[in-house]
């Protein structure tokens, strides 16, 4: 009977002992000679807290832990919620020596390491985490937890891990001895050092970009430089905070660990959406060039500012996962609209060179982000890839650099254009001042000469009477010549033609045919400028005259909507750069041919031919021929008297006579009605002979 009682007591004692420490959940090691590393997934039991219901240490210690290997992962994983996890580990030292191993589970937001005492209570040995770590330097040692078990004893440890973000870093519990832990540390160190070097190089380049932008702003104050500087500053802070999550990195922000959350997702919204649209609006001057697109950019900027405020509010309420979800929706929702904006800008890049810099920079970052996102879908899955949108990959970093370089190049080019425009204006002012000085000098000389003439007139009245008469004749002659030249200038370009040109430009703009409007306006301004220039010169080269006539006829052809054809033929033996013709002599006849030659109802298309030939004796012949209604019929159709002639042609004829008198040139003008020569033909031939001096 005694034996039976003793056996029952022994069975009860053994049962209670093994019930407390089951063999299958206890890691048994000889810590006197520990293995290099032990994968603890088979020995660790876990307990997950419900969302918004955290567990205290006493509650967790009293709950039942279960074995769930699916909790562990070697890469980042999107859990879809906050993760509050308790891990329990039993370690038995079968050796004869006390020793210490190191437990490493990864980098997490909050980590608390507890050890059980002999009375069953738990003591907090250490605490660390990305949101608790303010030490700054020795991060690796803070994330490796010591496992000390006396010889022949068993100890129980608890590890409390809290991750506020949906994207959880790698969670893989491994137990290392001292040597293997040092090797593992060195391997990780080389990896993180490479990533840190890339970020530091990027920060250096961004600082250079910021300095260049500040220098350009000093030279040319503009809002676009301020927006670009804010964009670069946001990127510098964003990537500087990335060093905060790397071991062995001394960051200036380690005293403010919450900045990693406050300037993670909001930084992307601030830099790549808010500052991006504000910079594009100011850089491209959308308010004047593309008002509708400017309204769209303003709405996007206001919406982005509101989203950033919402993200800050969520972070302040410790809803760290919500900004990531918001950014994912914003990113996916703006892919197609951004592509439409790029297409719209590409269609306008020909008329606005600054659009190319903005478009190329935007495309580089757009394609880099899209490529980085697509590359992460296969290894991580769609949900986890969306969570990694804020993680700057190498492809995204390259896109950021290219975008910043294109934007900075565009700002420099804009600065150059403004500098050239300012220099051009200054040069024009200097030229005008020089002209004023020259005019003042001439006036002074004329006054001095007038005083001398008046003095000589008093002394030699009889002799000066004849000279005064001759001077009076010269003055009247010059005055008459000046009046004729002014009339010729006014007659060169008919006001009706100018009105039609402006109407054509307005029509092209209303039809949004900006290319034709720009070309028409450019040619029209060139024609006006050359008209004013040639009116001050007596002779110009034949090359300038042909270019001038070609520009004038091109405008007329565009105005007549291609119902007019013209051809300027030059004898190949003529050296157009050396031959000279009187300025503004041919244009009135060409204008008259267009006016009456393009209105022939019997001809569907008006044709105008200008032919230059070199005759014997250094004589240049110019023949202007059209298929219009002819001189006689045009006189019949007009209500003016028959002896009336076009004012431009009359002034040109008088000017030719004056040139013949002044330079003894012998310019001859002959006007022929083709119907007189052959009644089946219609039109006019103007034959002008210009001898070369």
Instruction: Name the more confident of 77 and 680.
Output: 77
pLDDT of residue 244: 66
Which stretches within 317-393 are classed as H helix? 321-347, 353-380, 382-387
Question: Is the domain covering 538-691 a CATH 3.30.565.10 domain?
Answer: yes
pLDDT of residue 245: 63
Question: Is the domain covering 2-176 a CATH 2.30.30.100 domain?
Answer: no
Structure tokens at 455: 């003095």
Neighbours of 19 (CB within 10 A): 8
Q: What is the pLDDT of residues 480-493, one digit of tens each?
A: 765 566 455 545 55
Q: What is the pLDDT of residues 194-243, one digit of tens each?
A: 777 888 888 889 999 999 888 888 877 888 889 999 999 988 888 888 77
Q: What is the pLDDT of residues 327-356, one digit of tens each?
A: 888 888 888 888 888 888 888 767 777 888
3-state helix, strand, coil in the chain (%, to 5): 60, 15, 25
Buried b (16+ CB within 10 A) or exposed e, 602-637: ebeebbbbbebebeeeeebebbbbbbbbbbebbbee
C-alpha span between 514 and 526 (Å, rounded): 18
What is the Cα Rg of the chain in Å?
46
- Mean per-residue pLDDT, 290-305: 88
Instruction: Name the more confident of 63 and 461.
Output: 63
Q: Which residues pair with 114 in a beta bridge?
A: 124, 158
Domain pair 2-176 / 538-691, same fold: no
Per the listing, tokens 């970009």 go with 209
- Mean per-residue pLDDT, 161-171: 83
Sign of CA dihedral 422, 424, 426, 432: negative
Annotated domain spans of the chain: 2-176, 188-414, 538-691
pLDDT of residue 524: 84
DSSP letters for 598-618: S--TT-SSEEEEEEEEEETTT
Task: With a cut of 80, say whether residue 300 has pLDDT above it.
Answer: yes
Going by C-alpha positions, the residue among 609, 606, 608 that lies closest to residue 598 is 606
Q: What is the pLDDT of residues 242-260, one digit of tens each?
A: 776 665 555 666 667 677 7
- State the CATH architecture for 188-414: Up-down Bundle (1.20)
Sign of CA dihedral 590, 591, 596, 597: positive
């Amino acid at each position: 009977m005694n034996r039976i009682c003793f056996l029952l007591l022994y069975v009860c004692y053994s049962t209670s002992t093994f019930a407390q420490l089951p063999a299958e959940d206890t890691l048994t090691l000889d810590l006197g000679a520990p293995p290099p590393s032990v994968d603890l997934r088979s020995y660790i039991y876990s307990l997950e807290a419900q969302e918004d219901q955290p567990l205290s240490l006493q509650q967790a210690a009293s709950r039942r832990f279960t074995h769930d290997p699916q909790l562990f992962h070697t890469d980042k994983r999107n859990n879809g919620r906050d993760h509050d996890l308790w891990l329990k580990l039993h370690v038995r030292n079968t050796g004869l020596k006390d020793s210490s191993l190191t437990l490493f589970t990864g980098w997490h937001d909050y980590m608390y390491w507890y050890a059980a005492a002999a009375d069953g209570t738990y003591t907090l040995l250490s605490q660390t985490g990305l949101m608790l770590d303010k030490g700054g330097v020795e991060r690796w040692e803070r994330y490796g937890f010591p496992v000390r078990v006396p010889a022949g004893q068993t100890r129980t440890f608890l590890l409390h891990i809290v991750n506020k973000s949906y994207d959880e870093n790698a969670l893989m519990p491994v137990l290392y001895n001292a040597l293997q832990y040092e090797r593992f540390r060195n391997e990780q160190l080389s990896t993180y050092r490479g990533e840190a070097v890339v970020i530091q190089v990027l920060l250096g380049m961004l600082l250079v970009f910021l300095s260049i932008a500040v220098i350009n702003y000093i030279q040319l104050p503009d809002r676009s430089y301020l927006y670009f500087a804010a964009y670069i500053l946001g990127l510098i802070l964003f990537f500087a905070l990335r060093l905060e999550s790397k071991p062995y990195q001394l960051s200036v922000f380690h005293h403010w660990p919450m900045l990693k959350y406050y300037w993670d997702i909001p930084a992307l919204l601030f830099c790549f959406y808010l500052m991006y649209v504000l910079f594009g609006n100011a850089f491209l001057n959308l308010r004047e060039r593309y008002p509708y697109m400017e309204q769209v950019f303003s709405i996007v900027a206001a919406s982005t500012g509101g989203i950033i405020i919402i993200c800050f509010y969520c972070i302040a309420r410790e809803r760290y996962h919500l900004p990531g979800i918001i950014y994912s929706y914003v990113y996916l929702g703006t892919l197609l609209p951004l592509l439409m904006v790029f297409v719209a800008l590409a269609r306008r890049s020909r008329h606005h060179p600054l659009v190319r810099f903005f478009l190329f920079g935007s495309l580089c970052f757009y394609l880099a982000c899209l490529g980085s996102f697509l590359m992460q879908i296969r290894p991580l899955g769609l949900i986890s890839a969306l969570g990694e949108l804020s993680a700057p990959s190498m492809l995204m970093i390259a896109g950021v650099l290219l975008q910043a370089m294109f934007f900075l190049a565009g700002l420099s080019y804009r600065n150059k254009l403004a500098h050239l425009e300012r220099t051009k204006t200054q040069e024009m002012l200097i030229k005008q001042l020089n002209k004023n000085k020259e005019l003042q000098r001439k006036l002074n000389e004329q006054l001095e000469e007038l005083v001398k003439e008046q003095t000589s007139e008093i002394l030699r009245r009889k002799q000066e009477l004849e000279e005064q008469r001759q001077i009076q004749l010269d003055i009247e002659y010059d005055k008459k010549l000046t009046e004729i030249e002014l009339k010729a200038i006014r007659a060169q370009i008919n006001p009706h033609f100018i009105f039609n040109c402006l109407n054509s430009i307005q029509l092209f703009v209303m039809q949004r045919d900006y290319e034709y409007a720009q070309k028409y306006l450019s040619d029209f301004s060139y024609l006006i400028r050359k008209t004013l220039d040639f009116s001050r010169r007596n002779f110009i080269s034949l090359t300038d005259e042909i270019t001038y006539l070609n520009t004038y006829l091109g405008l007329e052809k565009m105005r007549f909507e291609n119902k007019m054809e013209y051809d300027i033929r030059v004898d190949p033996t003529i050296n157009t750069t050396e031959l000279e013709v009187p300025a503004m002599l041919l244009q009135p006849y060409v204008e008259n041919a267009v006016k009456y030659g393009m209105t022939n109802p019997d001809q569907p298309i008006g044709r105008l031919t200008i032919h230059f030939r070199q005759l014997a004796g250094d004589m240049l012949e110019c023949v202007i021929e059209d298929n219009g209604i002819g001189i006689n019929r045009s006189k019949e159709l007009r209500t003016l008297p028959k002896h009336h002639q076009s004012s431009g042609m009359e002034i040109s004829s008088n000017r030719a006579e004056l040139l013949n008198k002044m330079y003894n040139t012998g310019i001859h003008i002959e006007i022929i009605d083709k119907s007189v020569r052959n009644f089946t033909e219609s039109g006019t031939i103007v034959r002008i002979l210009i001898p070369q001096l």
